[in-house]
Amino acid sequence: MSDLTQESTNSSPIISISDMSKWYGTFKVLTDINLDVKLGERLVICGPSGSGKSTLIRCLNRLEAHQKGSIMIDGVELHDRMKDVDKLRTEIGMVFQSFNLFPHLTVLENLTAAPMWVRGESESEAKKTAMFYLERVKIPEQADKYPRQLSGGQQQRVAIARSLCMNPKVMLFDEPTSALDPEMVSEVLEVMTDLAETGMTMLCVTHEMGFARKVADRVIFMDEGKIIEENEPNEFFTNPQSERTKLFLSQILQH
Amino acid sequence: MYADTVIADKLVHKPHFIIGLLVAAGALFFLFNITDSFLGHVLSPVIGDPASSGLYGRFVVAFMAALLLVINIVIIGFFPRKLQILAVWMELLLLALTLGIVFNLDLAFIKSKLWFMITQGVFTTLYVSAISIVIASILAIIGAVAKLSDNGFAFAIASFYTSLFRGLPLLMQVYIIYLGLPQLGYVVDAIPAGIAALSLCYGAYMTEIFRAGIESVSRGQWEGSRAMGFKFGLTMRKIILPQAIPLIIPPTGNQFIAMLKDSSLVSVIGVWELMFLSRTLGVKTFQHIEMLMTGALIYWILTIILEAIQSRIEAHYRKQRS
Ligand SMILES: Nc1ncnc2c1ncn2[C@@H]1O[C@H](COP(=O)(O)OP(=O)(O)O)[C@@H](O)[C@H]1O
Ligand SMILES: [Mg+2]
């Protein structure tokens, strides 16, 4: 993993956001966001509910449109006339709080769908990749089950594997463990930690501070649509700069 | 529905209900004077000749009839629920059949026509309905997707279509298609014209069913699919519709049952389906009511069969979803 990180420090950022703002109608959700992410970097984004974390990462695969500033992903600018948004999305994996697995497809079919339907891979090829990633998330034995037959933690691991099957350059996580029962959180975090060790570029919205300390290169703190503070994890937790960060940390670390 | 967890007193066993029903039914029977009935003759040892028994006989017969009714209801009230339902059904059915006896139907005549009514009438009714529901479903999918799309043309055409065909009586659509198209130079047979009218009309209604079905698939499914790089069409075909269709099938079954009866409207353009035969087979010999009653009974039986199938389909999908 260190190889990749080293190598990427010199290259241009894979994600580059500059002066980006977004409104829902007249309500300004994001204000002048500036953020560069290099290949292999792992970011944790945190902040109070409603601060715009989800909106920010949803702008990165253009599930949401921004109105001002620019977002460049791997050299491609996101804008409302872009032609190849679907191709771009195949290169950005996204993991949702609510999994969003396809309930009418088996686990294996969930994983082979995109490679076969979008990339035109053969079934055997897609299955091979799928089984490889199911092994990685440690549930190969569930391949022929339907999502509803799996626990929440297993479903989320399937969702992660599903994204990985497209061999994405970046993985976005939007509170992947928030909908899970406490005893299932760690199995998902474990998979995410393993993934980080392979050098995957990751942006994770999460309040799991243990994960942030262990895995993140940088922690971003957001409030009211702005990036308030960013720092490497140790500094961030031990020496927060702004009052709002201190308040937020005291609230979530209390328990 | 939620079943109550405590047992309430049964309404049909409450004294005020029993007395009230006795008085009401007695008054009704008295009013309609049923002295000269089967019951009246049974009671002749008490009231003498029913015809000359006067107000006394009229009262006794009405009272006894009401009493029998109340006793019957009270007894059925003691039955467990399933048996209760069966008993009430059977009694109502018997009542309906006695009405048939009142018409004094010519059973031999019915028997002579029955086979033709089934092979020609039921067959035509079923196949016109079946073809129409298939075409209507296709129109409804297209209409629903068009109504949900961003495309202004698609939305405009789809909403114009549903507005127009929901806004005209089906009977009028049948006439316009059958009589209007020839004026434009296209002569259509009665059956294709009927199928066209039924399909277009039901397609318009079912567009809303399909739209609701598609919309009830959660937003997360769209996002999950689009985020993986699936385009709109692929998402619709492979992700959304497969999840919407189990929701759409039960109400579509209901539409089919409704269509079975609405298909009777195409009898006006001379399609030899069940309604047409019910109306025409008895004309020559003035046995209208024989054929109408037979046709009615066949429609009812068909509907009962289809409803049974329908409830199995619903149960199947309910089980699948849980
Ligand atoms: N589709 C939407 N329309 C209008 N407002 C929205 C929409 N989605 C989110 N918001 C608002 O934008 C703000 C940021 O939301 P979100 O990005 O989901 O916050 P977070 O993920 O940090 O909790 C919230 O105030 C939320 O109510
Ligand atoms: Mg959120």
**Cα atoms in the Cβ-side hemisphere of radius 13 Å centred on B190:** 13
**Cα atoms in the Cβ-side hemisphere of radius 13 Å centred on B194:** 26
Ligand with the closest atom to the CA of A175: 2
Rounded to the nearest angstrom, the gap between the alpha carbon of residue A244 and the centroid of all alpha carbons in its chain is 24
Q: For A43-67, what is the mean pLDDT? A: 96
By Cβ distance, the residue of A63, A88, A166 closest to B223 is A63
Q: Find the helix or strand (DSSP H, E) in which A77 lies.
A: strand A76-77
Report the alpha-carbon distance of residue B234 to residue B223 in Å, rounded. 13
For chain B, 322 residues long, give each residue's pLDDT as a single digit of tens.
787 788 788 888 899 999 999 999 999 999 988 888 888 888 888 888 888 888 888 899 999 999 999 999 999 999 999 999 999 999 999 988 887 777 788 888 888 989 999 999 999 999 999 999 999 999 999 999 999 888 999 999 999 999 999 999 999 999 999 999 889 888 889 999 999 999 999 999 999 999 999 999 999 999 999 999 999 999 999 999 999 988 998 899 999 999 999 999 999 998 999 999 999 998 888 888 889 989 999 999 999 999 999 889 888 887 776 6
Measured in angstroms, how far is the CA atom of residue A53 from the centroid of ligand 1? 8
Tokens of residue B165, six digits: 């065909």
Residue A206 Cβ contacting ligand 1 at under 6 Å = no
Is-contact B237 B286, C-beta < 8 A? Answer: no
Q: Is pLDDT of A4 > 70?
A: no
pTM above 0.90, yes or no: no
Cβ neighbours around A243 below 10 Å, total? 9
Maximum CA pair distance of chain B? 91
Tokens of residue B284, six digits: 């020559």
Is-contact A139 A155, C-beta < 8 A? Answer: no
Nearest to B12 by CA among B73, B89, B80, B84: B73
Which amino acid type is present at position A255? H
Is-contact A43 A203, C-beta < 8 A? Answer: yes
- A chain contacts of residue B230, beta-carbon cutoff 8 Å: 86, 114, 117-118
pLDDT at B322: 61
Q: Which residue has the tokens 């979008």?
A: A118
Cα dihedral angle (B312, B314, B316, B318), rounded to 10 degrees? -140
Report the alpha-carbon distance of residue B22 to residue B19 in Å, rounded. 5
Is-contact B121 B295, C-beta < 8 A? Answer: yes
Is-contact B145 B214, C-beta < 8 A? Answer: yes
Determine phi and psi for B112, rounding to 5 degrees: -70, -25
Q: Which residue has the tokens 């007395």?
A: B19
Which amino acid type is present at position B233? G
Domains, chain B, with CATH or none: 2-91 (no CATH), 107-321 (1.10.3720.10)
Q: Do B231 and A86 touch (CB under 8 A)?
A: yes
